[in-house]
Amino acid sequence: MSSVVDIFFLFWLGSEWIRPFRQTFGSAVGQRKRHLGYSQHVGFQDFIGNATAVGHLRESIRVDRFPHSMILAGPKGAGKYTLAVMLAQAVNCTEKPLTDGLPDFCGACANCVRIGESRNLDELVDAAVSARDEMRDTDKRETRVLIQTHPDVLIVPPDPPQLLIKLGQVRQAIHVAYYRPPIEARRSFTIFTSSAFMKEAANSLLKLLEEPPEHTSLILLTENPQELLPTIRSRAVIHRLGALAPAEIEAVLAQRRPELSARDRALTARLAEGAVGRALGIELSAYLAGRQEALLILRTALRDPDYTALFHVTETYRGGADGQQKTVNLLRAMGALVEDLLLTIAGTPELVRNVDIAAELAKLAEGLTVEWIDGAARALGQVEQGMRRNLLRSLSLDAMAVGLERN
């Protein structure tokens, strides 16, 4: 087994593959990377939640009936992509370990390592897109982004800037499925990471689903299967991943983020809205900093329209990347607070996300109406629009604060 790990991005240009760049890690780096990347993340035990759905899929591998065409549906952050990559690893792992009597993957054989390299999808897509941006204009238009870290596993992300899956990408998936039997894998995989297809692309995909080739599995990831053509849905097996309950996410946080206090875990779990991946990545201090200022704006608008302190805060929102991130944090926190106020006046305070300040939210919500919520949501939208047009941030935040006053 070679200890060299290759990662390459592929583009499909006209009728030939091009590899604009290729990174090769030498054996020392490869070993270290493997150690860091996989020692704590091997096997389905690391996939959190949705045990029943995962069990069914592993059982289908055990009896050698893994679907040719599968839709993996679930909310954002439920782990659809992570699971799809794990399944491709489990089908093709050369060590074939079993856990709980079901197929698992070792994370260390050549197939597991190379397929596993596609886990950092966002980074790979960003790198591929910036490589495409460097091309000549005429080539750029013809070039479609595809990610392939293993010769038999093709990842098809929505193609920017429209973020749709395009005809050229589906054509390549068809080419791979029909004319290129797997070389190193038992079964080749094509994973479409979005269900937003251009019309011609969807029609083309349909042809592939009508006569699926023997040694290929197609996996379509979607938040909402209804977005797919009914004819596509009817030709694929649908597996669903559900959002996790806050208590389940809190249990994971207790294990994986021991630095968080019980109170912080409760808040983080609710902010993640059922997505364990998001919960593991939330930077609570940044959220809390934004929320503190969002609360100040709300208190000023709802209780004591004395704007001195407020203007002092909004003045600190200046231009540049720092100011941009700060504003994004403020708006995110304000959005969560306004939704919580709505949940409170709707009589479902048990659903609020900012659980640690539920008592203050109840006080702020006194006397608020649905019309106020509506106006607040509009005021937030206006600041977001203003940001896109580069309006002076401090001024548009002041305008928002005034818009939040009780009328």
Residues that bind Zn ion (CB under 5 A): 93, 95, 105-106, 109, 112
On whether the CB atoms of residues 217 and 91 are closer than 8 A, the answer is yes
Question: Residue 35 is encoded by which pair of tokens?
Answer: 């150690």
Return the closest-CA partner of residue 329 out of 374, 249, 405, 387.
387
Alpha-carbon dihedral 367, 372, 374, 376, rounded to 10 degrees = -120
Nearer to Zn ion, 72 or 109 (CB): 109
Question: Residue 218 is encoded by which pair of tokens?
Answer: 């197609």
Nearer to Zn ion, 107 or 386 (CB): 107
Question: Residue 107 is encoded by which pair of tokens?
Answer: 């994370």
Give the separation between CA 252 and CA 250, rounded to whole angstroms.
5
Q: How far is the CB of 185 from Zn ion (least distance, A)?
A: 11
Give the separation between CA 255 and CA 183, rounded to whole angstroms.
40
Nearer to Zn ion, 93 or 209 (CB): 93
Q: What DSSP state is assigned to residue 349?
A: G
Task: Using alpha carbons only, give the angle 189, 193, 197 rounded to the nearest 5 degrees.
Answer: 110
Nearer to Zn ion, 149 or 169 (CB): 149
Q: How far is the CB of 109 from Zn ion (least distance, A)?
A: 3
Q: How far is the CB of 63 from Zn ion (least distance, A)?
A: 20
Q: How far is the CB of 128 from Zn ion (least distance, A)?
A: 26
Nearer to Zn ion, 109 or 177 (CB): 109
Nearer to Zn ion, 92 or 190 (CB): 92
244-267 burial, b for 16+ CB within 10 Å, e for fewer? bebebbbebbeeebeebeeebbbb
**Which residues have C-beta within 8 Å of that of residue 341, sequence separation ≥ 6?**
361, 364, 365, 368, 373, 376
Q: How far is the CB of 98 from Zn ion (least distance, A)?
A: 12
Give the separation between CA 155 and CA 169, rounded to whole angstroms.
10
Residue 104, Cα to own-chain centre: how many angstroms?
Answer: 24
Q: How far is the CB of 79 from Zn ion (least distance, A)?
A: 20
Nearer to Zn ion, 47 or 372 (CB): 47
Task: Using alpha carbons only, give the angle 129, 71, 107 rounded to the nearest 5 degrees.
Answer: 65
Report the interhelical angle of 358-365 vs 284-302 (nearest 10°): 30
Nearer to Zn ion, 91 or 298 (CB): 91
Omega before 161 within 30 of 0, i.e. cis: yes
Integer CA distances (angstroms), 96 to 36, 182, 184, 328, in order: 22, 18, 15, 46
Phi/psi at 316 (5° precision): -80, -5
Q: How far is the CB of 96 from Zn ion (least distance, A)?
A: 8
Q: How far is the CB of 194 from Zn ion (least distance, A)?
A: 28
Nearer to Zn ion, 88 or 209 (CB): 88
Nearer to Zn ion, 58 or 235 (CB): 58
Q: How far is the CB of 65 from Zn ion (least distance, A)?
A: 21
Q: How far is the CB of 86 from Zn ion (least distance, A)?
A: 11
